């Protein structure tokens, strides 16, 4: 495929990837990172113009078209319901949905040039993770955070927990987990692909990033991401047996070098207790009521909180978000959409197994599991970027029709 001003398109997506990763959500009217978000709008307009000036048509991948149509239904129907639903901030919600849908349209268009999408997203992720490491170290050492971080309102004992460019630690770790999963897929399946230009330093850098992320998940008590990252760690050790002892030693050193981890462990054990005031109990009631109280076409885009506010269950302990991406889809868009979404991901999972791409199959299970850690995932732009990245890797591996003999 040939596109006029190809370099502009590539750099436009570099900017959009970085911009989307910098903020956990867009939200019209929020001043934080506004210059970056305005830049995203400008870059999007430029990219739309470039795509409209292609020299010839390009092949649309059916699987990408399916997920794009699902997103189209999700946000068009969701936006319509938001319009007819009388809410104080309905105009803001509509604007948020429109901008998110514009981003998804760009990702769909660019995703069909899937080799370049993978290569650019991998490089952006690699450098962005380095930025996150620096920012999080500054937060932990100097106990300073961005003004919009919820850590500023937490008890002093939590002042060292980082949230980087995001409003809370769980969103931060969820994005880190998705980023590292994508990078691990690239290292595993494309380490011998010359066009991706991976080197031995990519492997070493990923090793450091993964161990550092495990450490972050522990000190922030992000239980879901801790499970995912530890699972990735042990799969990584199985894949690269020569590094087992070195990696395990480094992992133990990181865990034992912070004497305050015992206090974190005690707080962690207390948080998973099932009783009044504990997160596990609150999530149980949030999940139960989401399943038992629903509308055929949902509450509308970004209206999941309306259901919980209307139910006014004291067991929520003030929470008004589902803390589960699949249930958020259920509340916002209804059972029909959720079933279609699950069937689509089920196909990707089963087909990956048939292709003997077992880690890729696992990724389609881990993706919604990771988003359990966030109170609301609808406007976390990064999750869409990486989810489409996972699908693109699936498409590329399927098109190559290369089946591994055993292995992870």
Same domain for 80 and 202, yes or no, is no
The whole-number pLDDT of residue 300 equals: 76
State the pLDDT at residue 39.
Answer: 63
Tell me: do 334 and 397 sit in the same domain.
Answer: yes
Tokens, residue 171: 């969103």
Where among 270, 289, 308 does a domain terminate? 270
Which of 225, 253, 270 is where one domain is finished?
A: 270
* 184 in the same domain as 136: yes
Q: Is residue 201 part of a domain?
A: yes
Question: Measured between alpha carbons, how far is 87 from 94 in angstroms, rounded to an integer?
Answer: 11
Q: State which of 270, 305, 334 marks the end of a domain.
A: 270
CA distances from 167 to 32, 146, 147, 170, 279 (A): 11, 9, 9, 9, 18
pLDDT of residue 136 exceeding 80, the answer is yes
For 343, the domain range is: 59-112+273-408
The predicted pLDDT at position 41 comes to 65
Number of domains composing the chain: 2
Output the DSSP codes for 37-70. HHHHHHHHHHHHHHHTTBSS--PPPHHHHHHHHH
Cα Dmax for the chain: 62
Q: Which long-range contacts (CB under 8 A, 24 or more apart) does 67-74 make?
A: 67/108, 67/344, 67/388, 67/391, 68/104, 68/105, 68/108, 70/337, 70/340, 70/341, 70/344, 71/101, 71/104, 72/101, 73/333, 73/337, 74/301, 74/329, 74/332, 74/333, 74/337
Q: Are residues 321 and 238 in the same domain?
A: no
Same-domain pairing of 286 and 245: no
**99/126 same-domain check:** no
Shared domain check, 279 and 184: no
Q: Is the pLDDT of residue 369 over 80?
A: yes
pLDDT, one tens digit per residue, over 55-102 is: 545 678 899 999 999 999 888 877 666 666 555 455 666 667 777 787
Dihedral (CA of 206, 382, 131, 17) sign? positive
pTM for this prediction: 0.88
Half-sphere exposure of 275 (CA within 13 A, CB side): 4
Percent of the chain exceeding pLDDT 70 equals 72
**Residue range 310-367, pLDDT digits in tens:** 777 777 667 777 888 888 888 888 888 999 999 999 999 999 999 999 999 999 999 9
Q: Is 2 inside any structural domain?
A: no
Tokens linked to 315: 């067991």
Whether residue 76 lies inside any domain: the answer is yes
Q: Taking a C-beta distance cutoff of 8 angstroms, is the pair 285, 301 a contact?
A: no
């Amino acid at each position: 495929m040939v596109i006029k001003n190809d370099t502009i398109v590539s750099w436009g997506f570099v900017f959009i990837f970085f911009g989307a990763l910098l903020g956990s959500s867009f939200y019209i009217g929020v001043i934080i990172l506004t210059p970056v978000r305005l830049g995203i709008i400008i870059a999007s307009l430029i990219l739309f113009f470039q795509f409209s000036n292609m020299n010839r048509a390009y092949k649309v991948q059916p699987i990408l078209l399916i997920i794009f149509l699902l997103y189209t239904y999700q946000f068009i129907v969701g936006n319509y319901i938001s319009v007819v639903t009388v809410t104080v901030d309905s105009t803001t919600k509509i604007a948020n949905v429109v901008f998110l849908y514009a981003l998804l349209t760009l990702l769909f268009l660019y995703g069909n040039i899937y080799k370049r999408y993978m290569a650019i997203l991998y490089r952006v992720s690699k450098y962005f993770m380095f930025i996150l490491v620096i920012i999080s170290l500054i937060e932990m050492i100097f106990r300073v955070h961005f003004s919009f971080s919820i850590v500023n309102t937490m008890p002093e004992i939590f002042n060292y927990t980082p949230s980087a460019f995001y409003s809370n630690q769980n969103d931060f770790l969820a994005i880190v987990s998705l980023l590292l999963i994508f990078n691990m897929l690239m290292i595993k399946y494309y380490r011998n692909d010359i066009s991706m230009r991976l080197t031995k330093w990519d492997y070493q850098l990923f090793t450091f990033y993964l161990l550092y992320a495990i450490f972050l998940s522990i000190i922030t008590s992000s239980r879901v991401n801790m499970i995912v990252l530890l699972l990735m760690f042990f799969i990584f050790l199985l894949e690269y047996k020569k590094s087992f002892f070195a990696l395990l030693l480094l992992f133990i050193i990181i865990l034992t070098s912070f004497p305050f981890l015992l206090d974190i462990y005690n707080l962690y054990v207390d948080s998973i207790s099932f009783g009044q005031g504990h997160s596990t109990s609150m999530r149980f009631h949030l999940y139960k009521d989401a399943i038992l109280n629903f509308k055929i076409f949902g509450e509308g885009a970004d209206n999941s909180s309306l259901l919980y506010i209307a139910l006014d269950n004291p067991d929520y302990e003030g929470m008004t978000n589902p803390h589960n991406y699949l249930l958020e889809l259920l509340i916002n868009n209804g059972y029909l959409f959720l079933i279609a979404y699950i069937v689509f991901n089920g196909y990707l999972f089963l087909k990956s197994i048939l292709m003997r791409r077992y880690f890729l199959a696992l990724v389609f299970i881990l993706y919604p599991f990771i988003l359990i850690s966030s109170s609301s995932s609808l406007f976390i732009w990064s999750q869409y970027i990486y989810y489409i990245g996972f699908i693109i890797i699936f498409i590329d591996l399927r098109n190559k029709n290369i089946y591994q003999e055993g292995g992870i």
